[in-house]
C-alpha cells in the first residue's frame, strides 16, 4: 500500500505525520523526483529562495525571488522533458521578522501554483513543509 494513498496527487501541506526518509523512499518507489530543501539558518526571502534553488539544483538567477522560483518549478522544469512526478519536502522554513507570515504564505502560494501547473499536465506534484 502506498504511503501517499490518502494524499491527493497535487497539493501543498504540512509534513505532519510523514517522515522525510519515508517520503524519499516513496518517491523512489514511484519513480518520481524527490526534491528536498532544509531552510534552517535562513532569515530572508532571498536566503530562502536561494537555499531552495541550490537544493533543487536550479540555475542561480532562477532562484533569487518568488517569481523566478515559480518559473523554475514550472516552465523551466517542463522544458527539460516529460516528468514522472515530484515529491517535494521543504523543512524548517524560518519564522523571522524578515520572513514573516506573509512571506511564508507567498512562498507556499508559489508551490501551490506549481502544483496547479503540474495538475493540468496530469503530473503529481506533492509538497510537504515544516516551519522552525
Count up the domains in the chain and report the number. Answer: 1
* Distance separating the N- and C-terminal Cα atoms of the chain: 31
pLDDT in tens, 32-89: 999 999 999 999 999 999 999 999 999 877 667 999 999 999 999 999 999 999 999 9
Q: CA–CA separation, 116 vs 123, rounded Å? A: 10
81 within some domain: yes
Q: CA–CA separation, 26 vs 39, rounded Å? A: 22
Q: Residue 1: pLDDT above 70? A: no
pLDDT at 5: 86
95 within some domain: yes
Q: What is the distance, to the nearest Å, from the Cα of residue 30 to the centroid of all Cα atoms in its chain? A: 17
Q: How many CB atoms lie within 10 A of CB 118?
A: 22
Domain that holds residue 92: 10-131
Q: How far is CA 52 from CA 25, 64, 102, in A?
A: 20, 10, 18
1 within some domain: no
41 within some domain: yes
Cell of 67: 517569481
58 within some domain: yes
76 within some domain: yes
Give all strands of the β-sheet with 33-38 in edge-to-edge order. 10-14, 125-131, 86-93, 33-38
Size of the chain, expressed as the number of residues it contains: 132
**What CATH number is given to the structural domain containing 64?**
3.30.370.10
63 within some domain: yes
pLDDT in tens, 79-120: 999 999 999 999 999 999 999 999 999 999 999 999 999 999
42 within some domain: yes
pTM of the prediction? Answer: 0.94
Cell numbers 501541506 correspond to 13
Q: CA–CA separation, 130 vs 14, rounded Å? A: 6
Amino acid at each position: 500500500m502506498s504511503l501517499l494513498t490518502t494524499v491527493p496527487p497535487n497539493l501543498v501541506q504540512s509534513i505532519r505525520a510523514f517522515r522525510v526518509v519515508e517520503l524519499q523512499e516513496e518517491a523512489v518507489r514511484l519513480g518520481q523526483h524527490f526534491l528536498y530543501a532544509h531552510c534552517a539558518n535562513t532569515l530572508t526571502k532571498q536566503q530562502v529562495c536561494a537555499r531552495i534553488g541550490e537544493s533543487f539544483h536550479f540555475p542561480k538567477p532562477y532562484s533569487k525571488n518568488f517569481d523566478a522560483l515559480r518559473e523554475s518549478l514550472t516552465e523551466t522544469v517542463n522544458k527539460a522533458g516529460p516528468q514522472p512526478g515530484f515529491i517535494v519536502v521543504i523543512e524548517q522554513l524560518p519564522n523571522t521578522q524578515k520572513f514573516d507570515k506573509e512571506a511564508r504564505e507567498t512562498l507556499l502560494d508559489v508551490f501551490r501554483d506549481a502544483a496547479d501547473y503540474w495538475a493540468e499536465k496530469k503530473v503529481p506534484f506533492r509538497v510537504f513543509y515544516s516551519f522552525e
